[in-house]
């Protein structure tokens, strides 16, 4: 009696390798695009945090009875410099303190101290916080130009 040999034929192996090659060629660009989308999503999350911090700072400014000119308000015992409209200044003593960011050395973000925050190692993938100096809510925009590879 002859023993049957188990296993795959050469044709079957080559077919599987070709199919895997085609799938990887299609899927790989999609996975690399996810990295760009993740950077943009993290900036959008930061935008939400900044919007909340700016609204809370304005509320504190109004609650303290300030009406005109720049001032310093206290949020969680941290002095936050605000502009004439009651929104945090774009400087490091303004919006950064309102966010209570602290040490960003382990973070994905870099606070440039001028109202811009960028993704670490991507200086042009950034969020721009620009208060108007009036009671109008600040402009918070995301510049996606440098988020890709």
E strand spans, 5-121: 71-75, 78-82, 109-111, 116-119
The answer to which of 1-5, 42-46, 94-98, 106-110 has the lowest mean pLDDT is 1-5
Q: Is the pLDDT of residue 90 over 70?
A: yes
Report pLDDT for 104: 65
Q: So where are the chain's domains?
A: 11-143
pLDDT of residue 106: 65
d(CA 61, CA 50): 16
pLDDT at 129 over 70: yes
Q: How many CB atoms lie within 10 A of CB 32?
A: 11
Please give the biggest Cα pair distance in the chain.
101
Backbone phi, psi, residue 75, to 5°: -120, 115
What pLDDT shows up at residue 121?
85
């Amino acid at each position: 009696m002859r023993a049957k040999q188990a296993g795959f034929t050469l044709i079957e192996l080559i077919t599987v390798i070709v199919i895997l090659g085609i799938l990887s060629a299609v899927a790989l660009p999609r996975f690399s695009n996810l990295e760009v989308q993740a950077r943009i999503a993290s900036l959008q999350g930061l935008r939400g945090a900044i919007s909340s911090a700016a609204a809370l700072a304005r509320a504190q400014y109004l609650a303290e009875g300030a009406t005109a000119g720049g001032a310093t308000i206290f949020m969680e015992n941290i002095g936050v410099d605000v502009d004439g409209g009651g929104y945090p200044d774009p400087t490091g003593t303004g919006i950064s303190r309102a966010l209570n960011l602290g040490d960003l050395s382990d973070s994905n973000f870099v606070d440039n101290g001028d109202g811009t925050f960028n993704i670490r190692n991507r200086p042009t993938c950034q969020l721009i916080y620009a208060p108007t100096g009036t009671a109008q809510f600040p402009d918070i925009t995301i510049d996606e130009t440098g988020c890709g590879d």
